[in-house]
Amino acid sequence: MSTFVRDLREGDAAQVAVLGGKAAHLGELSRIEGVRVPVGFCVTTDAFRRVLAEAPAALEDGIDRLRRVRPGDREAIRTLSAEVRRAIEAIPVPDGVAARITDALARFGEEAAYAVRSSATAEDMPSASFAGQQDTYLDVVGPAAVLRHISRCWASLFTERAVTYRQSNGIDHRTVHMAVVVQRMVFPQAAGVLFTADPLTGDRKAATVEAVPGLGEALVSGLVNPDVFKVRHGEVVAKETDAQRREQPTLTDAQAVSLVRLGRRIEAHFGRPQDIEWCLADGDFHIVQSRPITTLFPVPVPVPVPVPVSDLDADAGGDGNRVYVSVGHQQMMTDPMKPLGLSVWQLTAMAPMQEAGGRLFVDVTGRLASPASRVGLLDLIGRGDPLVRDALETVIARDGFLPSPPEPPAAAPAGPPADRAPTPLETDPAVVTELVERSRRSLAGLERDVRTKTGPELFDFLSEAFQEHKRLLGDPQILQAVMAGMEATWWLNDNLRAWLGEKNAADTLTLSAPGNVTSEMGLALLDVADVIRPWPEVVAFLQGVAGMQGVEGVEGVADGEEAEGGGFLDGLAKLPGGSEARAAIEDYLGRYGMRCAGEIDITRPRWRERPATLVPAILDNVRNFRPGAAERRFEQGLRRAREKEREVLSRLRALPDGERKADETKRMIDRVRTFIGYREYPKYDIVSRSFVYKQALLEEAERLVRAGVLAEREDAFHLTFQELREAAVRSHRVDDRLIRRRKDEFRSYRALTPPRVLTSDGEALDGSYRRDDVPAGALVGLPVSAGTVEGRARVVLDMADADLEAGDILVTVFTDPSWSPLFVGITAMVTEVGGLMTHGAVIAREYGLPAVVGVARATRLIRDGQRIRVHGTDGYVELLD
């Protein structure tokens, strides 16, 4: 038609920049065989740009001010967005644009009723649907009314909700433009919404149809209760109808099934589940909109396994239904990872892992399907996280979902006995000392040898280092040492509860256990505070640094760039006591600088790269503790553990067969104190090695920047290890579009909440505790560290934002070892994610902090500053005000 107006049937997905998301999707829909779309046209983004070109300077100023508003400043957004809308609506539609619109109306029927609908360029995207963010107007009749409502649609690009949505998704207001769809109205006998996947569970095989009589606006606005049809495998499996329509539902079952069949055709065309608006007129379904369902968690896609799969991990791949368990919930890091971090973790992990939504999952289908391995898997998982066990049991209970177990092999002829289980480790501290020393020698060799490698030689070296990494971590003695501490903990808790009626006795018996590198890290930061505390000018300087956290340029370096010798550390040297303070911080970074929040992703900035991250925790320690707190705290824990040991053994000896029970318990106490601290060391070793890999890869990325292959160094984070190797060694090029797409995907993944368990149907399961022994209104979780504490809740989503006072209770989504410095200043902990043997639980027990983990939606149900009571022994949290 013209640059300002296009027939909807001319549109397709490639024209989003011209037609906006809605119109482009409608054009695509009209091309699908059997799909009917109401006729109409699109007023293109060229027309919108023409209008803005005639806008007064005040509009430009208003948009600029809106860009600078903080996302949380609702009042400023409301005021400024209203100003921008009024300014746009006041601009007359240019004559050339108006003429094209009226010509189109004449062709489609000037006096017909039309739907005038916004179609923004950042709308109906795979990563953000923008559903309901801009305006739609129905029953618009006549050219003047259509032109007026087109102006309103242009202005609706700046509704308060649209502005807030863009800011929360990191989308610049100036990069989004508005087209407008003008469609002939269809006056149906029924209308509604079809979800081709269950929007609540994510099940891709279950479709949901919502239907109401007449126009669908009553459904969207919530004025009418819809009839709801659940359709699976071509039949209605559940139906819920409004009481007034029970005798004659809005749709017949056959119509609901037919609509879902049409929806499956649309889903196949777009390649992902769809949220489809439809109407039924004259016996035919008309599709008025289809957008991707952006809230569904993606289904894992199998990836090639670079090494032979062991019998333990022979579950990956294969056909049929699959069951996946979240790696992030075991590693206490449920945030998305960037591609380089994902691929390096996959290449160094002991089990094959698949990626979905920026997270990693392990396929446990084979182990669940086999009754022989199922019991052990559920027992091990259940001890750590009963929610995962419950979710898996839900899947097991479904007839026909899991594959049938293989037939047992025929009896084999007699032969030599099978390999025996490895000899149990002696309870000898020298075992742990040797394992730690072995790791340190290997790490030193890695650091020494990698310095001489660049280009192809570097990638060959790292590939070999990954295999050495796996060989070291796969050492049976490491697993034995870790399991020795865990099994001794379980033995003590199980038997002392049976013999003495005492819950979680091991929590006290393991206080101040030797060799726990993570708890030592928290105490060591108390020692740093002791060096800084006597120097007021240093404290004031660090307070200024803390106040600038999150402000670009605090370190004077780019994201991920090392700050050694630069940033705030240089400023310390000019102050009285600054040299001592800097030396203490540098010494701390020398031991723990490879750590950071979310440290399993090597693309996350390490403390060595951003030392200012530690400043708030250091200042909390300066404020909340007296000198010598680290030593006192360790000695206090050790004293309590010894007193508990004497008390338990004394009570046991008073029981029937008490001497035997006391002797066995003493052996287990010695065993748990020998090995439980080592539980944290393999992770420390992994993170230490990963930091070496990262530094080497960043140096290679810097060379690619100098060669013009990468625009900036951190672009390498959005490539897999294999893709980075290809760019550095063979192709010497990187597709900029791939980098941009990966960045967009990563932003979208941050809005997703990963489930504990995921099926190949896309169903997300998080399990339930199924308990009835907690007070009404209490939040249920997993007890991981005994004791009861009442205090002020501090809801902290980012360690750098923590502002803790003595006696506070930390409430957060998850903690990993990098949070340990905060543990020394709190009295209890509540997390949404975690298990009995995850790092936060181990350190909470080490420090004697009552803790409840796995509390669903804790950071939303508990208000910052609210008084709560944490029942760490029984596993629940009471809200007191």
Q: Which of 149, 177, 329, 839 is catalytic?
A: 839
The structure tokens listed for 811 are: 């409430």
DSSP assignment letter at 301: B
Element (H, E) at 290: strand 284-292
The three state secondary structure string of 87-156 is HHHCCCCCHHHHHHHHHHHHHHCCCCEEEEEEEECCCCCCCCCCCCCCCEEEEEECHHHHHHHHHHHHHH
Rounded to whole angstroms, how far apart are CA atoms 791 and 497? 28
CB 612 within 8 A of CB 545: yes
**CA-based angle 764:325:836, to the nearest 5?**
110
CB 684 within 8 A of CB 817: yes
DSSP assignment letter at 854: -
Of 33, 501, 94, nearest to 261 by C-alpha is 33
CB 872 within 8 A of CB 789: yes
What are all long-range contacts of 553-560, with beta carbons under 8 Å and residues at least 24 apart?
554/612, 555/609, 555/610, 555/611, 555/612, 557/609, 558/712, 558/713, 558/714, 559/605, 559/714, 560/603, 560/605, 560/609, 560/698, 560/713, 560/714, 560/717
Of 172, 150, 174, 23, nearest to 91 by C-alpha is 150
**CA-based angle 47:51:52, to the nearest 5?**
115
Exposed / middle / buried, residue 491 (Cβ in 10 Å: 0-12, 13-18, 19+): middle
Rounded to whole angstroms, how far apart are CA atoms 452 and 448? 8
Entry field: residues in the chain: 881
Rounded to whole angstroms, how far apart are CA atoms 590 and 597? 17
DSSP assignment letter at 612: G
Rounded to whole angstroms, how far apart are CA atoms 823 and 804? 10
| Half-sphere exposure in the Cβ direction for 308 (13 Å, CA) | 2
Exposed / middle / buried, residue 646 (Cβ in 10 Å: 0-12, 13-18, 19+): exposed
Rounded to whole angstroms, how far apart are CA atoms 59 and 57? 5
Rounded to whole angstroms, how far apart are CA atoms 96 and 160? 30
Helix/strand/coil percentages in the chain, nearest 5: 50, 15, 35
β-partners of residue 106 are none
Of 873, 877, 875, nearest to 506 by C-alpha is 873
CB 571 within 8 A of CB 564: no
- Give the three-class secondary structure for 325: strand
Q: State the CB neighbour count (10 A cutoff) for residue 479.
A: 14
269 part of the active site: no
The structure tokens listed for 300 are: 């894992």
Rounded to whole angstroms, how far apart are CA atoms 778 and 879? 7
CB 207 within 8 A of CB 195: yes
Which active-site residues does the annotation give? Answer: 839
